[in-house]
Structure 1
Amino acid sequence: MYESIVGALPGATLSKRAAIGLQIAVFEVGVLLFAWIYDLWSAVPAGTAAVGVAAVGSYFMLKLGGENRRLDVAESYYRLLFGSSIEVVLGVLAFVALVTHLFVTDPATVGGPSPAAALLPFDVATPDVPIVEDLFGPAPPAAVVFLALLVLWDLCYRIGTSWWTAVVSLYRELRLSPGPGTRLRFRRLDALNVGFALAQLALVPFIADRPVLLLAMCGHVVAVSVVSLTAIALSLRAE
């Protein structure tokens, strides 16, 4: 889906570098412009980190798409990876869950003990206000919330892509037989997926006092890393 958006801009033929640069510029200019208009400079670090992670995800998806199409493997692998659109479904589910938490669960539980905090191996501070209010004030401007949700959808879609890529990679190693010359290149793509997951830890400082978001983020990173590294280990063993 991301590749089709990049290729659908009317009258423009963008290189990968240009497409990612344009994305960073548009989002970051929006972050800085709204910070200036509404005096929300305290939200700039979190917004910039989110824009940066989204840009890393864009690089990952363009690299994943381009490299995969040049590798020799069964057609079923490509149908699952490119033709199923499962990553969109996963991204939508992640985004809806996030919005529900931001505007329902988090405000309802703020100021009290969180059951999620008991699952963490360390103590976390109890926030006094919901995270939306903490970032954007007690009356968040509509334009700021719109941009924030747009960037968060961008992140959720990339997270969904990362999930599905890891699952399909494991399927490839368990059920298919990539050629000997392609295994190393597949392993590099799996390692790239792990790298993207780890890059998302840049958001942890901004949710360190939010147990639910912290658990979701760290659980996602661990899950993608374990599945992708398992695919890499199976590939090495097959050789």
Structure 2
Amino acid sequence: MHDGEKKEMKWIYEIIVSKIPPFSLLSYQYSILLQLLFLLILGIILGLVFQLKTISLAYGSLGILVAVLWSMLILQLGPTLRKFRAPLSKDENELLERYKGILFHKNHYEAIPGVAIFVPFMLYLFHDGSGLLKYWLGENPNILLLFFVSLLIWDVCYRMGLGIWTSILALWRSLELKKLAERRTELEHTPYTELRALRKLDINNVFFGLISLLLLPLIKSDPLFVIMIFAFMTFITLTNVISAYLISKVPWLPPDIYNLVKESSFAYVGTSLKGVTHITPVVYVFDGQRMFFNTSKEAKKLKVMKKNNKIAFLIDKRDMSNIYENKAVLFTGKVKIYGLLDVPLRLIQMLRTLRLFITKYPEYTRKYSTSELPKAWQLTPIIARILVEVKPARIIYWRGAKQISVPV
């Protein structure tokens, strides 16, 4: 894409709305809310003028609410992708640029799924055998009401199409990114913040699918559309769950650092409180995405981390015969200290981490499970040993005598 296209990254609906006052005078977030208010007031006025039932007004308001909720979720895409930094991998960078180029194509292909939903829906709706119009508007509805409902249906169908469009592209992007990640060399990688942002967008789309269930009261009188809504929800949800899972399996560390972190056995934890620094060696595990170490509830570093969660986490590999073969990586960032409240919320993650410790350090975990060690060192589940997760914000890597700063 050219620079102008990168900066624009808008869909046809946004472009049209951005040219119509007063919506054009507001940021997109506020213009969405103004559209909600405008459609809601217009719908209520038309309903009162043509004496619609209260339930019909409620159905119309629900349809508007769904469209706005979808808009707020879709709104995250453009700003998030605009802030993307280029991956330190030519192939991965080209893939993500291609993904953005297709997603926000100048020919606005994103409207095609919406049209493909809208046209058959309208043909079916105005077919003599369909009872939905009567269910919504009663007998012989006025032409203005029909026009307003058609506009609202287009709004909903367009956003349903966007959900399908973004979900299919997200799954394709995640599949390709995982394949490319397996072919990385040396320091090639996509930064952690970018991978986390992509995963967040996929999770947003999962909610996009679930929100569609709010449409069920509007179409419950037609079994065919009930089935279609459930099919849409299932497709959107499953597609994005798979995409988010694939993204979670893409390493955010380049191969050189990934292998160093995976293969090393010890690290040094640096903490600081009121100008007093503290450094201790720890054993740790790495699950391919996150680093964990555990510490005693009596340990000084834990007491410091509870007051200042900033941390330095150093892993090094030394060759005493040749200093130019030495490697080290320093992660600076913050920690998450796991507590009792995390047990029900992150039990699976905690059990996986425990299994990694047992597999990597069988002798260590066996000794720590005995009562032969000091109380502060005993591996008493939940009570005496505390699990800590490292959340890096910056990475510095040394290879030989050369220092390299690696984007997170």
* Normalised-by-shorter TM-score class: 0.7 to 0.9
Which residue is 2:210 aligned to? 198
TM-superposition CA deviations, 1:183-236 (whole Å, max 9, x none): 111111111111122112111122223111111111111101111111011111
Give the letter for the 1:61 counterpart.
I
- Partners of 1:61 and 1:211 in 2: CA distance: 28
The answer to whether the Cα contact below 8 Å between 1:43 and 1:136 also exists between their aligned partners in 2 is yes
Q: 2:249 aligned with 1:237, yes or no? A: yes
Q: What is the TM-score of this pair, normalised by structure 2?
A: 0.51
Which residue is 1:162 aligned to? 163
- Partners of 1:35 and 1:93 in 2: CA distance: 29
TM-superposition CA deviations, 1:91-126 (whole Å, max 9, x none): 00100011011112xx32x6xxxxxxxxxxxxxxxx
Which residue is 1:7 aligned to? 18
- SS of the counterpart of 1:238? coil
Which segment is superposed worse, 202-211 or 25-34?
Answer: 202-211
- Partners of 1:25 and 1:145 in 2: CA distance: 20
Q: 2:50 aligned with 1:27, yes or no? A: no
Match of 2:193 among 181, 184, 205: 181
TM-superposition CA deviations, 1:113-151 (whole Å, max 9, x none): xxxxxxxxxxxxxxxxx1101221220111111001101
* Structure 1: runs of 5+ lacking an equivalent: 111-129
Which segment is superposed worse, 37-46 or 90-99?
Answer: 37-46
Match of 1:100 among 118, 123, 126: 123
**RMSD value over aligned CA atoms?**
1.7
Question: Greater strand percent: which structure?
Answer: 2
Q: 2:57 aligned with 1:56, yes or no? A: no
Give the letter for the 1:81 counterpart.
L
Give the letter for the 2:138 counterpart.
G
The answer to whether the Cα contact below 8 Å between 1:6 and 1:14 also exists between their aligned partners in 2 is no
* Structure 2: runs of 5+ lacking an equivalent: 1-11, 86-92, 181-189, 252-408
The answer to whether the Cα contact below 8 Å between 1:90 and 1:160 also exists between their aligned partners in 2 is yes
Which residue is 1:126 aligned to? none
- Partners of 2:100 and 2:30 in 1: CA distance: 26
Instruction: List aligned pairs for 1:46-85, cutoff 5 A.
Output: 46-72=59-85, 73=93, 74-83=96-105, 85=108
Alignment size in residue pairs: 217
Identity of aligned residues (%): 27
Give the letter for the 1:85 counterpart.
H
The answer to whether the Cα contact below 8 Å between 2:208 and 2:236 also exists between their aligned partners in 1 is no
C-alpha spacing 1:135/1:68, structure 2 compared with 1 (3 Å)? same
- Partners of 2:48 and 2:125 in 1: CA distance: 24
- Partners of 1:139 and 1:209 in 2: CA distance: 18
Higher RCO structure, 1 or 2 (CA under 8 Å, sep 6+): 1
The answer to whether the Cα contact below 8 Å between 1:3 and 1:62 also exists between their aligned partners in 2 is no
Q: CA deviation at 1:10?
A: 4.8
Structure number with bigger Rg: 2
Give the letter for the 1:82 counterpart.
F
Instruction: List aligned pairs for 1:109-188, cutoff 5 A.
Output: 130-176=131-177, 178-188=190-200
The answer to whether the Cα contact below 8 Å between 1:60 and 1:193 also exists between their aligned partners in 2 is yes
TM-superposition CA deviations, 1:29-76 (whole Å, max 9, x none): 111001100110331111000000111122122221111221245311
Match of 1:87 among 110, 113, 116: 110
Give the letter for the 1:97 counterpart.
P
The answer to whether the Cα contact below 8 Å between 1:60 and 1:192 also exists between their aligned partners in 2 is yes
- Partners of 1:7 and 1:53 in 2: CA distance: 21
Q: What is the TM-score of this pair, normalised by structure 1?
A: 0.85
Q: CA deviation at 1:7?
A: 2.2
- Partners of 1:10 and 1:43 in 2: CA distance: 29
- Partners of 1:44 and 1:10 in 2: CA distance: 27
Question: Greater helix percent: which structure?
Answer: 1
Which residue is 2:384 aligned to? none
Which residue is 2:398 aligned to? none
- Partners of 1:44 and 1:95 in 2: CA distance: 22
- Partners of 2:21 and 2:39 in 1: CA distance: 20
- SS of the counterpart of 2:238? helix
Which segment is superposed worse, 80-89 or 10-19?
Answer: 10-19
- SS of the counterpart of 2:123? helix
Instruction: List aligned pairs for 1:217-232, cutoff 5 A.
Output: 217-232=229-244
Question: Which runs of 4 or more aligned residues in structure 1 lie more than 6 Å from their structure 2 counterparts after TM superposition?
Answer: none
